[in-house]
Structures are given as structure tokens and as C-alpha cells.
Amino acid sequence: MSRNMMAEAIRGGKQAGRRAKAGPKLPFILQFDPMKKGGPWWMPIASVAAALLLCALFIWANGMNPLTVYEKMAAGAFGSSFGISETLVKAIPLLLCGLGVAAAYRISVWNIGAEGQLVVGAIAATAVTIYWPNLPGALYIPVMAAAGMAAGAVWGLFTAYPRTHFGVNELITSLMLNYVALLLLDYLVFGPWRDPAGFNFPGTPLFSPEQQLMTFSGTRLHYGLLFAFVAVVLFAVFYGRTRWGYEMKLLGANPLAAKYAGISVSRHIILVMLVSGGLAGLAGMSEVSGVSHRLMYGISPGYGYTAIIVAWLAKLNPWGMMATSLFVGGLIVGGYSVQTIGLPSSMSLMLQGAILICLIGGEMLGKYKLVRRR
């Protein structure tokens, strides 16, 4: 056998070995597509349906009919004028915080500090009532709203500045600042701002009528609803019709291309966190002025965290968030209704968690595609 024939035989043996190790060929492969931003438009709907089915298994395992439970929740949230008004009350802070986190997420700034920004907004609005008790009555609501937005924006800046100047991950700073804000709230309502006539109740004195947002007759639904609607319109206009919105879209789609185009990434991160924190701070102001009428312990049951679900369900679309905030607000109100059939109100928390898990799974699946192997 010649030298060339021996070399050819060796090469053929190696190739056969590699084919044997590779195993049989599949008719398709699962390939990661880094350019895709997520799944199709119907993915959030499918995620909600999957979450409802998943929770139905747990409800059935506890000896209850899932359809009866879901029907009870829907009737409690949307089956009466009282239920609808209460759902709208819950939707207001969810929508404002959802717009805030969506503004940051559009450029891949992962702000999960809306809870703390909401709390400091409520604190700042209350400070106006405590330290400026003699303002003209007509000025209280505008000044309180401005104070709440400013405080939330500054709290957002505490996340943006370390990110842009020191490269600190905003997930860590925004999460830790939530606990700082909550501890500051506890200190104030248990300490210097505590109502002396409130006995053991941890809260400030009640606001005067001039310091309270007006409500629609016969309900707890307040004019913070107008704040939320105006915020949606401005969000849509700024992101869809202005140069700044175009730059934000470019920055979210391709940060490297935006940088080469002369767009300052650091400046936009700071600006977007100011906007994000300001919207969450406005949500805090609307809660103390429109719902509780005082700063109190536990002013937020987790609106800042739940707003993440609101934003992702709507795929960061401001008009879509009007619907998703109503849906999630209905889950919260409907959770109170199931107590009459022996289930805890935390039923809504289980649903929210399941929806978030299914949303994350759907987003990940949306970034993969099946490719037929030739």
C-alpha cells in the first residue's frame, strides 16, 4: 500500500469515528437568535393561560373547583361598581410604576427599585403637609405631586450614578435601596412623625381635606387616575414622536451603534432613571393623598414589584399597560373575594408569581428558533 493510500485510509477512519461519536442526525436544531427581543405578540396571553392552568392544579389538589375560584375572583373584581372602582384604585400605582420600570427596561436598565421610589415619594409628599402646614389650599396637591416626583427621581439617581460612573450593577443598588426606603418609612411613622393621638397606630396625622386628592362620588377612586392617564399619553408621545424617544429606541436596540452615532449612553441612563423614579414617586404621592390620607406603615403592599409584571405583560407598551394594570389590579381585588369560600387572599400572589415565571419562560423561548438541518 502506497503512502498516499495509507494517509487516505487514516483520514477516512478519523471521519468515521467523528460521525460515530456525533450520533444520529436530528431533523432540526434549536438555535439561539440574539437579535430577537422576545416572543410573538400573543406570548403574554399564552403565559397568562399557562399560569392559570398551573395554579388550577394546586387549587384542584386542595379539593376546590378551579373554575369556581376564578369565577369568584372575576366577580369580585369586575362584577359590581364597587369591585371595578377598587380595581381601578389598585391599577393607579401599578400603572404609574409600570410606566417607570418600562422606561428603564427599554434601554436594558434593570430598575427593580420602583418600590423604594414609591415609598420615598410618599414620604416627600407627607413632608409637605408636616413642614408647610400654612400653604394656600389650592397649592397643596401640585406641591405634593412635585415633591413626590422629585424624591422618586433622586432615589432613581442613586441607582443611575453608580452604574454610569463606577459600573455598579443596577439590580443590586436598586434592590438594596428598596430596603433603605422601607426602613426610613418605619423610622418616621414609629418615631418623629407618629401621630400622638393615634395610640399604637404607626402613622402620621390625617391629611386635611385640601391635602387629599378628590374622589369620584361614592367610591374610593381618586383623581390620581388622571395622573396615570396623562403619564401614559406623555410616555407614548415622548417615545414615539420626539428625538429623545428615537435615541432611546436606538440605544435599546443596539447600544454600540448608538454610541458610534454620538449618543451619550451615560446621560440617557441618568435621564431614564430620573423619569422612572419620578413616575414611581408620583404613585407614592397618589397613595398617601388619595387612599390612606396619611403616611403609614406598609403604605405599599408591593406595587413596585408587581409593576414589573404589568410592564412585561404589555411588552413595555404604554397603552397595553392600561389593560395589564387593570388585569393585575383585578387579581389583587379578586384575591380578597376568595376568602369567602375558604381560600386566603394570598391566592392572588400565587397567580402573580406563576404569571411572572411563565412570562420569563415565554421570553426565553421567544429568543430561540427551530432550524431544519440540511
The pLDDT tens digits of the residues spanning 280-323 come to 999 999 999 999 999 999 999 999 999 999 999 999 999 999 99
**Residue that wins the pLDDT comparison between 253 and 297:** 297
Q: Is the pLDDT of residue 36 over 60?
A: no
Which residue from 120, 144, 160, 192 is spatially nearest to 268, judged by alpha carbons?
160
33 pLDDT band, cuts 50/70/90, is low
> What is the pTM for the complete model shown?
0.88
pLDDT digits 0-9 by tens, 192-241: 999 988 667 889 999 999 999 999 988 899 999 999 999 999 999 998 88
**Residue that wins the pLDDT comparison between 370 and 334:** 334
363 pLDDT band, cuts 50/70/90, is confident
Q: Is the pLDDT of residue 256 over 90?
A: no
Q: Is the pLDDT of residue 125 over 90?
A: yes
- Domains defined along the chain, listed by start: 42-372 (1.10.3470)
Q: What is the mean pLDDT of the chain?
A: 88
- pLDDT in the model for residue 17: 54
